[in-house]
Amino acid sequence: MKKILTQFDALAISGYSSEVDWVTSSVFEMLFLAELQKNAMTKSGILAVKKRISQITPRLSKKLGFKMVIKD
């Protein structure tokens, strides 16, 4: 994931570590997108989103294998 960050000069990248059920992941994605809308697209904003998602959806994040990598 870090290679992709560098290759595309992205601020962050997120995804799942394995194949997921589309209905379950859709619910998670709606929550994730809602949290993204609350912050600026800066490193500190993305860090805040990552923290809130882990607080709001700890079991769902783990079940889906959600990963998020933020640029150093």
pLDDT at 6 over 90: no
Q: Are 43 and 70 in contact (CB under 8 A)?
A: yes
- Residues 40-68 have a mean pLDDT of 96
Q: What percent of the chain shows pLDDT beyond 70?
A: 100
Tokens of 72: 């150093």
Question: What local confidence, expressed as pLDDT, does residue 72 receive?
Answer: 85
Question: What local confidence, expressed as pLDDT, does residue 4 receive?
Answer: 85
Question: What local confidence, expressed as pLDDT, does residue 70 receive?
Answer: 95
pLDDT at 37 over 90: yes
What value, to the nearest 5°, has the Cα angle with vertex 16 and ends 28 and 65?
A: 80
